[in-house]
Structure 1
Amino acid sequence: MATVILYGTETGTAELVADAIADVLAADFDPSIYDMAEFAAEDLNADDFLVVICSTYGEGELPSGALPFADELDDVDPDLSGMHFAVFGMGDSVYDDTFNRGGEIMAEMLTKRGAAQVGEHFRHDASSTIKPTVAAAEWAQGLKSVIADD
């Protein structure tokens, strides 16, 4: 099974997180990393395990890097039945009501099309002292068993 890592970012931090997760998964799952801005929704494959990394921008919106993919998901509306995915969300708890909303929006968009979210939906807090890449590497260690069981 292929592992596909998609990231949506505004400032580039989600790309660094994607790299950290890929480093942990590399030995066992040979992951491919793609920017959501450059990934076509019709290239989603139910046989792949999908890892979504998405930041939150503005008032709880998707970052600009995730918008092309999200728009295409709405336009193409692919059947993602059988696909499993995990989410590493990024946000800042200073924004109470919209904290980590970007990752939640992506999860909603995928489950609406039949994909199943598995594992822990991680919500990194930019206000914490833990760097997102460190949190991502730790999260990815646990994700290995989820992918292996898939």
Structure 2
Amino acid sequence: MPTLKIFVGTVYGGALDVAEQVKPLFEEAGYEVDILEQPTLEDLVDPLPDLALFCTSTTGSGDVPGNLTPFVRALKERPPTLTALRYGLIALGDSSYVDSFCGGGRSLDALLEDLGAQRLGERLEIDAMETFMADDEAVPWAERWIAEQQLRQA
């Protein structure tokens, strides 16, 4: 059975809630799904999952939350080759912070791209100013992502 690892960066639990809400969609599509709240570099590369989903909020001046910081630091300090990694990304932010809106997700996306990973489809950016419950946008996006990227297993 193919594997999907969901890497979560959260402060108040919103990104974790999104991960928990989309997990059943991927299980129905034929994946064994793990949600990682304190991910390490080894969680990503040993072994490399068939598919990864990064779900992160933004904190500070456009940074990933503290629980994801060691993971991102490890990606920068010991950069693995991620050319075989296919991933999606859901970024949560607040557009009232104009300069740093979804900055955590955007910077992680750029880092993964620099390491050779292939993002499938577009990054979802959820604005807390427009969407009270992030999963209201994330669940339909995940359904479309699975269909458009032909991720459903036979």
- Is the pair's TM-score, using the shorter chain for normalization, greater than 0.5? yes
Q: Assess if the C-alpha contact under 8 Å between 1:42 and 1:76 holds in 2.
A: no
C-alpha distance after superposition, 1:32-72 (max 9, x if no partner): 1111xx22213324452110001010221111121011011
Which contiguous aligned blocks of 4+ residues in structure 1 show a shift greater than 4 angstroms? Answer: none
Q: Assess if the C-alpha contact under 8 Å between 2:4 and 2:49 holds in 1.
A: no
CA deviation after TM superposition for structure 1 residue 23, in Å: 2.1
C-alpha distance after superposition, 1:2-52 (max 9, x if no partner): 1111110111111101101112222112321111xx222133244521100
C-alpha distance after superposition, 1:72-126 (max 9, x if no partner): 1112211111211110000001111211111111111111111011112000000
Q: Assess if the C-alpha contact under 8 Å between 1:47 and 1:82 holds in 2.
A: no
In structure 2, the gaps of 5 or more residues are: none
CA deviation after TM superposition for structure 1 residue 130, in Å: 4.6
Rounded Cα–Cα distance in structure 2 between residues aligned with 1:74 and 1:39 = 15
TM-score under structure 2 length normalisation: 0.88
Rounded Cα–Cα distance in structure 2 between residues aligned with 1:52 and 1:68 = 15
RMSD (Å), alpha carbons: 1.8
Q: Which AA in structure 2 matches 1:63? A: P
What is the aligned partner in structure 2 of residue 106 from structure 1? 108
- 1:71 is paired with a residue whose SS is helix
Rounded Cα–Cα distance in structure 2 between residues aligned with 1:43 and 1:63 = 18
Structure having the larger proportion of residues in helix:
1
What is the aligned partner in structure 1 of residue 39 from structure 2? 39
TM-score under structure 1 length normalisation: 0.90
Q: Does 1:4 align with 2:1?
A: no
Rounded Cα–Cα distance in structure 1 between residues aligned with 2:17 and 2:107 = 21
Rounded Cα–Cα distance in structure 2 between residues aligned with 1:103 and 1:13 = 14
In structure 1, the gaps of 5 or more residues are: none
- 1:50 is paired with a residue whose SS is strand
- 1:110 is paired with a residue whose SS is helix
Rounded Cα–Cα distance in structure 2 between residues aligned with 1:31 and 1:142 = 18
Q: Which AA in structure 1 matches 2:112? A: L
CA deviation after TM superposition for structure 1 residue 149, in Å: 7.5
- 1:114 is paired with a residue whose SS is coil
What is the aligned partner in structure 2 of residue 15 from structure 1? 16
Rounded Cα–Cα distance in structure 2 between residues aligned with 1:104 and 1:13 = 17
Rounded Cα–Cα distance in structure 1 between residues aligned with 2:14 and 2:40 = 21
